[in-house]
Chains A and B, each alone.
Chain A
Amino acid sequence: MGAPNELNLAALAKYSNDFLREVEANVEEGEWVKMCMQCGVCAGSCPFGPDWEHSPQKIFMMIRAGKRQEVLTSDSMWMCTSCYNCVVRCPRKLPITQIMHGLATYAHRLGLAPKMQPTYQWSLQFWDNCTRTGRVNELKLTLGLYFKEGFVAGVKKAWALRGIGFGLLRAKRLNPFELIRGHECKDKAGIHRMLKKAQEIEARRLKIPQFKTEG
């Protein structure tokens, strides 16, 4: 990630100055973007509203204004908690949460997502974790997040949050054996095959080269 990839160059050539059309064709629920009437209810309804670089309202207008680079490198999509407050309040009934997720996915596929954004990394780790065995391994997932900036940082983080860890251990809600052998689906292999196929089909439908699925 980081440097714009082959897919990004292909998309730039294909859509040249029409970013709205590019979003409509490639982003989940992207065809809804033009329906936004700029009322700002989404911006005011977001729990992390004050922390976004651009609210959904702004993102939608930026898409129509062709601000491709600014939209796809924005940290805004990665601030979505998936609370769906904007969705149920939008007077035009835009599936805003889904569009923000879709934009995030697209930015990732193009290699434009902000690399150091913590939720971006977290999202990739989650998908990798849950698809590896078909079920989430909570311990590996948490430790993966703590240790993503290296061993020393990981130990510090784990130490700082030790109270929570021991509390959960006492409450039998954390299993140290998950590190060795966690819960998993019996038909892991079938799950891997079907997900590989799904990625192929989606690439075929979007007429794009096969994208990387892991971070």
Chain B
Amino acid sequence: MAKKEYAFYPGCSSQLRGSASNYLTSVNSMCEALDIKMTQIPDWNCCGASIGYAGSGELSRHVLNARNFALAETHLPGQDVVATCAACWLGARETKEKLDASSQLMAETNEALKEAGLRYQAKVGVRHMVEVLIEDIGYEGMAQPIVKPLEGVRIAGYVGCQTNRPFGIAGESFENPMYLDKLVETLGAEPLVKYEQKVTCCGGALAFSEPEKSQKQIKDIVESAYDHKADLIVTPCPLCQANVEIYQSEINKRHGTKLDMPVAYYSQLMAVAYGATPKAAGLDGHVIQPKKLQDIAVKVVPKK
């Protein structure tokens, strides 16, 4: 298989010692096993996220995203921009679609970009890591590097919002996307396809400003995983991961529950199945330990 190359847009939360730094670690391990080369866009900037709207207005948001596109076009020509964060992907893709559709917005964006010595030429493609896996690698391709099938692990696939709406993954429904379950199955684990909270909102950025309301959402998401006897929840979104994992202790305090459900990234499942060490799979980055994955990751597989 020829090496696949992409312009990597990891996003702020994935940076070293950021709240999703273990996501980046596991993506790196996963990509290495799949022979995917991810080169970070030099000097990439924040997408503005969904929550920055009050101060940003419309054009500034597009200009932020277009700066990343222009940098990718200049330094990594011909490569698609690939985001791992749901919000980065949504913001970037929205900007791309808006600018493609409006010559006025495009002209205004380039007028602003000129101040940073850049020009966006509308050549770049914008994709999510999950799209790359499904469309460029395929489920068969994802199965190839498996050395440790995740046998006997029951996994609730929590897709969340922004990887799913408004754009989503091609061919999937908004109400019941199946790709995460298929991916879990590909890795040899047991997908809990009847998990009802698959696309429920965790509160997103409002977990900070409206903690009680968000924790009510998170409680539903976690309790449903318990109802289905899940060993862990898996998600493609860094904010879903953080919110659903770290607020369980607060929910326990507030509601007298005993929630202790690990929440991992799809990339961690893949890294473990591909034989990564616990550290290389980012398993040392959890507040609630994903015991089942750790057990598999430390297991020694006899060389074939």
Contacts and interface: CB of A to CB of B under 8 A. Distances in A.
A77 to B, nearest CB: 9
B209 interface: yes
A138 B209 contact: no
A183 B21 CA distance: 13
Given A173-B285, A185-B43, A193-B116, A202 B250 contact: no
B295 to A, nearest CB: 19
A134 B249 contact: no
Interface stretch (B44-52, B125-133, B142-150, B188-196): B44-52
B285 A191 contact: no
B63 A118 contact: no
A194 B115 contact: yes
A137 B174 CA distance: 32
B256 interface: no
B49 A195 contact: no
Interface stretch (B27-35, B179-187, B199-207, B268-276): B199-207
Contact of B55 (A79, A128, A172, A205): A128
Q: How large is the interface on A (under 10, 10 to 19, 20 to 34, 35 or more residues)?
A: 35 or more
Given A118-B209, A172-B21, A123 B54 contact: yes
B287 A167 contact: yes
Contacts of A120: 54
Contacts of A25: none
Interface in A47-104: 47-48, 51, 79, 81-85, 87-89, 95, 97, 101-102, 104
A214 interface: yes
Contact of B165 (A84, A126, A201): A84
B19 interface: yes
Given A104-B53, A123-B54, A213-B55, A197 B210 contact: no
Contacts of A194: 63, 67, 112-116, 118
B61 to A, nearest CB: 9
A51 B213 contact: yes
Contacts of A202: 57-60, 108
Interface string A94-128: 01010001101100110001000011111110111
Nearest to A93: B166
Contact of A171 (B50, B166, B286): B286
Interface centre among A113, A197, A199, by most chain B C-beta atoms within 10 angstroms, is A197
Contacts of A87: 165-166
Interface centre among A121, A136, A201, by most chain B C-beta atoms within 10 angstroms, is A136
A36 to B, nearest CB: 17
Interface centre among A81, A201, A214, by most chain B C-beta atoms within 10 angstroms, is A81
B89 to A, nearest CB: 13
A171 B201 contact: no
A84 B67 CA distance: 25
A187 B68 CA distance: 12
Given A88-B166, A198-B112, 11 more contacts: A79-B210, A81-B161, A105-B53, A126-B55, A127-B53, A164-B247, A164-B249, A170-B287, A171-B287, A174-B17, A191-B45
Closest 6 CB pairs of A and B: A127-B55, A190-B116, A82-B50, A175-B17, A84-B165, A83-B201
Interface of A: 28, 47-48, 51, 79, 81-85, 87-89, 95, 97, 101-102, 104-105, 108-109, 113, 118-124, 126-128, 130-131, 134-136, 138, 142, 145, 161, 163-164, 167-168, 170-175, 178, 183, 185-187, 190-191, 193-199, 201-202, 205, 213-215
